[in-house]
Structure 1
Amino acid sequence: MTSALNQISSVANQLTYQITHDFDAQAELLRGWNQDYLQMSSGNFSGYVSEIKFDDVHLFLEYTSQALFQHGQLPEDVLAIGVPLAAKSQGVFCGSATNSNSIHIFSGHDGFEFYSPSELVMAGISVNRSALLSLLTAEEQESVQKNCAQAHLLQLNPTGLEAIRSFMRDIFHTVQVTPAVLHNPQITTSLRTSLLSLLADNLTHSYDTDPAPISTARCWKIVTESRELALSHAENPVSVAELCQHFGISRRTLQYCFHNLIGTSPVAYLRAERLNAVRHMLKDADSVTDAATYWGFWHFGHFSQEYKKMFGELPSATFKRLHALN
């Protein structure tokens, strides 16, 4: 297999990038997936798998130059999804034609079958199933279990789908540029929390139903207590899933409270609180990076853009201005 596979880089077994020129070798790269590949189009095969592993999280980008027939099966304790980032044509996943508004649920009792098109780039996420379910209400757990009982295509709204794509692009860019972030427990904990929350938001359908009646006073208490929770967990940013679990309410009810009272989403609110916390911390911090990392912002390019959008100036400008006054 060494002639068919090149391992380009490895950082503490957490970041790897491997190139292949043989589809059988490609099938073996994702360990634990028990995959077999058959090449269906003509021509020399080339492919790669770039992987990030930390804690119980496995992320990958896979490229395959030729059309393949793929078959595989994951362990029952693993929940895995895939989102195509690029493809030359349409594929077929578990009997359904692929489209731009769906994700691939690879998990399931009977495994998966995938006729993948040529020039495919697939972003994949696998996590421990129990870890995700522990963040959810009983109703949401039932929804996730139902959605992931068998491999299939799951339709998502464009916003949710783009959030997953953006997360994958951002984390691979960040880790490739600064691989040392994987050695920072605070950052990997933040990444894991963000990822589980992202999956919870998109694999539960309880938000499609109308929320149970809730008073304005109760909504306000939820909003104010959410602020306290956000500011008391700098080392591990609070997620929407954790707020729902804390208050014992569904995502739809949480959304209702925030939109009804302050006209924004819980995600946007939590992010605004952390951006403000960074701004306050810049007064005494040794650097912008220290303050951003402390409050769970690991993609510094996007952090700077969001900070400027919120406050009208780059965090570096705030830092220089505040320290010039000292």
Structure 2
Amino acid sequence: MSSGLTQDRDTPRRRNERISIISTDDPCQHAASLRDWSQDYLQLSKGAFSGEIVEISVGPIQVFKETIYQCVDEKANPRCNSYTVGVPVSVTENGYWQGRHLERDSLITLRPNEELHFRTPRESTILVTVIDCTAFDAFVRDTAGVDVSRLIAPSNAAGLPADVAQSYRVTLGTVLASVAATPEIFEHQASAKSVAETVMSASRNALQAKSPLNESPRTTHAVQRAIVERARSYIVVNRENPPTVAELSSYLKMSRRGLHHAFVNVLGINVATFLRYVRLHGVRKELLRAGPTDSVSSIACKWGFWHMGMFSSYYKSLFGETPSTTMRKVSSATRAESHSHH
């Protein structure tokens, strides 16, 4: 889905300190493109990745629109000591935010310093704002006489009335488009302050309108998500001696059947595929920062792949390109950078 902003699609670019419009074709690089967030993306659906981030930062707020074409499992931490509030623009199929099923009119939230777990639909566009705790606490107290913590604590993906959800989408989208079209807004304190207050006001309204009756259950999904996260950590720590499904079951003290159900329900793939995908992403990250003496085969072996033909087939099936193509991106980027310095 287009952001509605004119830009060059062929090269990712950052416009200035406060405005970013970035197009990506790599899940690992996309994860690193959102300022002030620490993120780890695991691509779950097969094929070439495509994404876009349009982002602004002004005073106590960050607003961004993220579009992703592939099903991705996101593990992320936003800016410290901030509230995260947002709404989907489009949801094509099952998506889960903090273990709750995502609908088009869901209000998505994170409490301060809460880790995000978001399994995106295959096509996903979300509008999100991250607001400094101190600023938002004071704003909501002054304008509504309530504590933000009371509004945001009960749930991570509650339902919104359709008109409120649409109003919130329009406000965040308009702010992004206006600032991108007129960057000098940030040069004037009055307009910059007005932008921040517009976003905080819209976010407060959305939080006040969310319906606890529309909250989707998360008990089973939350337990299964915790199992998936423990498994992921164990696989990454033991990457040079990748565990088998049986070893993973033993480590997690659960049956293979229970493990299988957890992965299929949370990520839509079985345990064996997940084991392979984590290792393939590990290879990809290393290929993207490979030095002149590194080889595809040595990096693949490091992550437990010993049959190069099968490894290449798995890699191309998931990412839509060969390992050597990924590696060439790095050398091309390095060459381009060295030329730019001459």
**TM class, shorter-chain normalised?**
0.5 to 0.7
* 2:156 counterpart residue number: 152
Q: Distance in 2 between matches of 1:57 and 1:184?
A: 16
* 2:85 counterpart residue number: 81
> Once the 2 structures are TM-superposed, how far is the Cα of residue 128 of structure 1 from its aligned partner?
0.6
Does residue 1:165 correspond to 2:132, yes or no?
A: no
Q: Deviations over 1:95-140 (max 9, x none)?
A: 2211122111133554121110122111110111111111234996
Which residue identity lines up with residue 7 of structure 1 in the other structure? P
Q: Specify which of 3, 11, 15 is matched with residue 10 of structure 1.
A: 15
Q: Distance in 2 between matches of 1:205 and 1:181?
A: 30
- Give the match's secondary structure for 1:85: strand
Contact 1:82 1:106 in 2 (8 A): no
Does residue 1:62 correspond to 2:42, yes or no?
A: no
- Give the match's secondary structure for 1:90: coil
Contact 1:108 1:151 in 2 (8 A): no
Contact 1:7 1:16 in 2 (8 A): no
Q: Report the CA distance shift for 1:113/1:95 in structure 2 as closer, same or farther (over 3 A).
A: same
- Give the match's secondary structure for 2:21: strand
Contact 1:86 1:120 in 2 (8 A): yes
> Once the 2 structures are TM-superposed, how far is the Cα of residue 72 of structure 1 from its aligned partner?
1.5
Instruction: Map 1:78-157; keep pairs closer than 5 Å.
Output: 78-108=82-112, 110-137=114-141, 144-149=148-153, 152-157=156-161
Which residue identity lines up with residue 166 of structure 2 in the other structure? E
* 1:187 counterpart residue number: 191
State the Cα RMSD in Å.
2.8
Q: Report the CA distance shift for 1:95/1:44 in structure 2 as closer, same or farther (over 3 A).
A: same
> Once the 2 structures are TM-superposed, how far is the Cα of residue 141 of structure 1 from its aligned partner?
7.1
Contact 1:49 1:62 in 2 (8 A): yes
- Percent of counterpart pairs with the same letter? 20
Contact 1:80 1:105 in 2 (8 A): yes
Q: Distance in 2 between matches of 1:93 and 1:37?
A: 14
> Once the 2 structures are TM-superposed, how far is the Cα of residue 201 of structure 1 from its aligned partner?
2.0
- Give the match's secondary structure for 1:29: coil
- Give the match's secondary structure for 1:32: coil
Q: Report the CA distance shift for 1:134/1:74 in structure 2 as closer, same or farther (over 3 A).
A: same
Q: Report the CA distance shift for 1:205/1:88 in structure 2 as closer, same or farther (over 3 A).
A: closer
Q: Distance in 1 between matches of 2:211 and 2:154?
A: 22
Q: Deviations over 1:200-256 (max 9, x none)?
A: 222236999xxxxxxxxxxxxxxxxxxxxxxxxxxxxxxxxxxxxxxxxxxxxxxxx
Contact 1:73 1:111 in 2 (8 A): yes
Which has the bigger relative contact order, CA under 8 A and spacing at least 6? 2
Contact 1:64 1:121 in 2 (8 A): yes
Q: Specify which of 50, 63, 80 is matched with residue 54 of structure 2.
A: 50
Contact 1:94 1:151 in 2 (8 A): no
Contact 1:94 1:112 in 2 (8 A): yes
Instruction: Map 1:278-293; keep pairs closer than 5 Å.
Output: none
Q: Distance in 2 between matches of 1:96 and 1:207?
A: 14
> Once the 2 structures are TM-superposed, how far is the Cα of residue 54 of structure 1 from its aligned partner?
1.2
| TM-score, length basis structure 1 | 0.56
Gapped regions of structure 1 (runs ≥ 5) = 209-326
Which residue identity lines up with residue 196 of structure 1 in the other structure? M
Q: Report the CA distance shift for 1:136/1:24 in structure 2 as closer, same or farther (over 3 A).
A: same
Q: Report the CA distance shift for 1:138/1:48 in structure 2 as closer, same or farther (over 3 A).
A: closer
Q: Distance in 2 between matches of 1:115 and 1:124?
A: 16
Q: Report the CA distance shift for 1:123/1:25 in structure 2 as closer, same or farther (over 3 A).
A: same
Gapped regions of structure 2 (runs ≥ 5) = 1-9, 213-342
Q: Report the CA distance shift for 1:127/1:139 in structure 2 as closer, same or farther (over 3 A).
A: closer
Contact 1:112 1:151 in 2 (8 A): no
Contact 1:143 1:203 in 2 (8 A): no
Contact 2:71 2:120 in 1 (8 A): yes
Q: Report the CA distance shift for 1:33/1:177 in structure 2 as closer, same or farther (over 3 A).
A: closer
Contact 2:109 2:155 in 1 (8 A): yes
| TM-score, length basis structure 2 | 0.54
Which residue identity lines up with residue 181 of structure 2 in the other structure? V
